Amino acid sequence: MAQLPSPKALVPFVSVENMMRLVHRIGLETVLKELTDVIEADFRRWESFDKTPRVASHSREGVIELMPTSDGEIYSFKYVNGHPKNMARGLQTVTAFGLLAEVSTGYPVLLTEMTILTALRTAATSAMAARHLAPKGARTMAMIGNGAQAEFQALAMKAVLGIEHVRLYDIDPQAIAKAVINLSGSGLMVTPCTSPQAAIEGAEIITTCTADKQYATILTDNMVGAGVHINAIGGDCPGKTELHRDILLRADTFVEYPPQTRIEGEIQQMDPDYAVTELWKVVTGEAKGRSGARQITLFDSVGFAIEDFSALRYVRDRVSATSFYQELDIIADPDEPRDLFGMLQRAKA
C-alpha cells in the first residue's frame, strides 16, 4: 500500500468534476478493472479490518447511512443516502461523499465525492464476485433495473469477465432507452426486452438492481434455471428485497458481512440459521465458490464499508501528483497547537 502523505491542514478534495476527469483520463473500463483488483486485494486481508453494520437512519422516504471501517493504519467512512422517491423530484436516488484519515493522528488525508465512486465500486464488487462465482466463459448477462447503476454493471462485467451481450429490462421504458443509448459504442451487444422473463433468456449472469423500498419479487423461482449466477444488488435495507425466497432455498448464497446482510439483504426473508458463505473466504480459497455446472450461485450484495475503503484508497493513489483535486482549508492549524483561541483572535478584521 502506498504511504500516506504527512498530515497537513489543507486536505485534498476530489470534486464531482475532477472525479469525472480522472475516470476519463484513466479510461472507464480500466478504472473498473483496477478497482476490481483493489477490492479483491482488500477482501484477501478481510480479517485485518474493523467491521460493523452501517449506522442507518431510516424514514418513510428513505435511509441515510454512515459506513465506517479501518485497517489499523487508515480510517474511512462514507456518508450515503437511499431515497427512491427522489427520482420523481428530479433528484438522485443515491448520493454520497467519503473521507480517509490517518489513524495515528486522526487527521483527514482525503475528502471526495462518492456518488460516482460508489457506482464504480459497486460495479467492480459485482465483477469481483462474478469472477469467483459465475459460470466460466459466461458471455451474456441480464440487467433487470436500468437506473443509474445499470451501465456501470454491464461495463464492469465486460471489462473483468468478457461479457459480450447484455439484455435489458426495466418497468420504465425510458430507463431501458437511456441504457441502450449509453451502451451504444461500448462493444457490447445490447438487447432491450419487454419483460424480466425475456431478459434472462440465455443469460448466465442475472443482475437485479431496482430502487423501490419494498418487498418485491423481481425474480420468481420458476424463472431461474440451473447453472446461473445471480447478482442481487437492489435489496439494501430492511423491508426491501427483489427475489422470491424459494430462489434462495435452491441457491448457494454468498454475502459480504452476515450481520449486515441478514438485516438488509435478500436473506432477511430467511430463518436466522439460513446458511451463507462469506465472499472473502472464497477469495482467499478458504471456502468453495462455484462447484458445479448446475449450481445456482447468489451474491446477496448490500454494499460494505471495506469496498468503500478500497475505492477511497484507489482514488487517493490515482490523484497523487495530478491536478485532479483541490486543497480545502478544513483543519484548524494554529502555530502553537494549544493556542486555538489565539488563532481565532488574530483573525479579527
CA 141 to chain centre: 18
Residue 337 lies in a domain: no
Q: Predicted confidence band at 235 (pLDDT cuts at 50, 70, 90)?
A: low
Whether the pLDDT of residue 197 is over 90: the answer is: yes
**Same structural domain, 176 and 293:** yes
Residue 224 lies in a domain: yes
Type and span of the H or E element at 333: none
Contact yes or no for 82/63 (Cβ under 8 A): yes
Residue 178 lies in a domain: yes
pLDDT of residue 131: 97
**Same structural domain, 147 and 286:** yes
- Other C-beta atoms within 10 Å of 24: how many? 10
Q: Predicted confidence band at 60 (pLDDT cuts at 50, 70, 90)?
A: confident
**Same structural domain, 183 and 256:** yes
Measured CA to CA, the distance from residue 237 to residue 82 in angstroms comes to 9
Q: Which residues are catalytic?
A: 236
pLDDT of residue 25: 97
- Other C-beta atoms within 10 Å of 106: how many? 9
Measured CA to CA, the distance from residue 157 to residue 131 in angstroms comes to 9
pLDDT of residue 213: 58
Which residue, 245, 246, 236, is CA-closest to 214?
236
**Same structural domain, 146 and 259:** yes
Residue 84 lies in a domain: yes
C-alpha cell at 207: 443482475
pLDDT of residue 4: 45
Residue 122 lies in a domain: no
Q: How many domains does the chain have?
A: 2
Measured CA to CA, the distance from residue 166 to residue 68 in angstroms comes to 34
DSSP 2: P
Residue 34 lies in a domain: yes
pLDDT of residue 1: 41
Residue 349 lies in a domain: no
Q: 179 is in which domain, residue-wise?
A: 130-303
* 98 bridge partner residues: 78, 112
In whole numbers, what is the pLDDT of the chain averaged over residues? Answer: 93
Which of 268, 286, 303 corresponds to the end of one domain?
303
- Other C-beta atoms within 10 Å of 89: how many? 8
Report the CATH number at residue 290.
3.40.50.720
**Same structural domain, 215 and 102:** no
Type and span of the H or E element at 284: helix 279-284
**Same structural domain, 28 and 173:** no
Least confident of 4-13, 23-32, 214-223, 332-341: 4-13
**Same structural domain, 292 and 155:** yes
pLDDT of residue 349: 64
